[in-house]
Amino acid sequence: MKRILLGMGLLVVGVSLSSMALAQAEGGACSGDKKAYSGDGAAHTEFTCNGSEYRRTFSVDSTTPANGSFIGVNEEAPKAPLHIGGEAIIGETTGLGCDADRKGGLRWNDSESTIEMCDGTEWRLIMAETCDNAPAFPAFEDQTNLATSTLATSNIVYLTGMDAGCSASAGVGGDGSPEFRICSDSSCSSVDLSWTASNTSMALEGKYVQLRATSSASVATAHTVTFTAGSVSSDWVISTGMSGCAPEGTVCADGTVYAGLSGAATPMYVTRCDSGQTWNGTSCTGSRLYLSWNNGNSTGYVDTPVANSADGQSMTTILAATDADSSIAGFQPHQAAVYCENLSLHGHNDWYLPSWNELSTISANRVAIGNFARAC
């Protein structure tokens, strides 16, 4: 049934649809400037023709609420006095003041790029709560002279300088497959977050962090691990020593013992026991072998070009090829040098007599090396 309303020079043409025709009204074909309604007076939906099809304008439901009606914008079954089925745009102020009658009102504050709400007295900005989640710079102690391909664990660092209860993203990156864990105490006996390589957001204030990573498979190589908490990052550097087995005194896989660096910063290795002795699993047994520097002669010394040499290996090669006694015909060997030059032990044949500087290094590390006899 069509109804025509005449009054005040305004002509409104409406089309009444039953609720059964709702599906047809939503998106249904139309022309001109028309409005369509579905439902009855207590609960109905209004559709407006956009020139080619009907689009929902709003819905009203006054059957459920105790007081007033529920109005839905783009929402067929409103569940609140105003139910918007989608985004809503709130404009800037029109100049209305905030008072008890406008309590709960909203408006846009363009200068602050946020919404304001009337609290009954004044307009207040609605802003996300911020907190300080940047800790004081955590200091991890770098580790050096590590063995190759060894899992290293950092010192445990206290995290502070943030707001209590403020979450921050914690993560780790870098070389050596790094991981971190978060603990509640300085010994990490109580672990809040087990070892992980994944970024995790949690409250970090007053917690403790520890890192771990695997050292390089190459000697004299550094791995850098970076721990990040909030906006703060801190590096932890773990470096392998010049030797594949370290530190000094470490028994290597081949049975030799790492003795330290030569004057040329070259790793030096010694036998576990002195020449003439063997290792029985707990100690060195047998008698030490004593050899003369020269041929045992007390006269006819030969000057060599290796005096005060810092390189024991090249010195040994020269001595082994030099006559040790000028008073005796023929070639007389430098016994100790020839012994080392010809020695094959622990799978190596590059043994040599240490130079004075190298011997000083070995002597300084004698406690770590062990089984060391010193006459003076």
Asked if the model's pLDDT at residue 133 lies above 90, the reply is: no
Would the pLDDT of 8 be above 60? no
> 202 or 22: which carries more pLDDT confidence?
202
* pLDDT(149) > 70: yes
pLDDT tens string 273-319: 999 999 999 999 999 999 988 888 888 888 777 766 678 888 899 99
Q: Name which of 24-28, 116-120, 200-204, 356-360 the model is least confident about.
A: 24-28
Note the pLDDT tens digit of each residue in 206-234.
999 999 999 998 877 889 999 999 888 99
* 82 Cβ neighbours under 8 A, 6+ residues apart: 70, 71, 73
Residue 54 has a pLDDT of 76
DSSP 20: G
Better-scored residue on pLDDT, 222 or 64: 222
Q: What is the share, in percent, of the chain residues with pLDDT greater than 70? A: 81
pLDDT at 244 over 80: no
Give the integer Cα–Cα distance in Å for 374 and 367.
11
Q: Determine the pLDDT at residue 113.
A: 82
pLDDT digits (tens, 9 = 90+) for 318-348: 999 998 888 888 898 999 999 999 999 999 9
Q: Which domains does the chain have, with CATH numbers?
A: 2-84 (no CATH), 89-128 (no CATH), 143-240 (2.60.40), 257-369 (no CATH)
pLDDT the model gives residue 129:
59
Is pLDDT at 362 greater than 60 in this prediction? Answer: yes
3-state helix, strand, coil in the chain (%, to 5): 10, 35, 55
Q: In the structure encoding, which two tokens stand for residue 264, read together?
A: 């040329």
- pTM of the complete model beyond 0.75: no
pLDDT at residue 17, rounded to an integer: 40
Q: Which residues contact 80 (CB under 8 A, 6 or more apart)?
A: 70
Output the average pLDDT for the chain.
81
* Nearest Cα to Cα of residue 82 among 92, 68, 94: 68
Task: Identify any residues that bridge with 275 across adjacent strands, giving them in sequence order.
Answer: none
Radius of gyration of the chain (CA): 44
Strand positions, DSSP E, 232-367: 232-240, 257-261, 267-270, 278-279, 284-285
Q: 114 vs 154, which has greater pLDDT?
A: 154
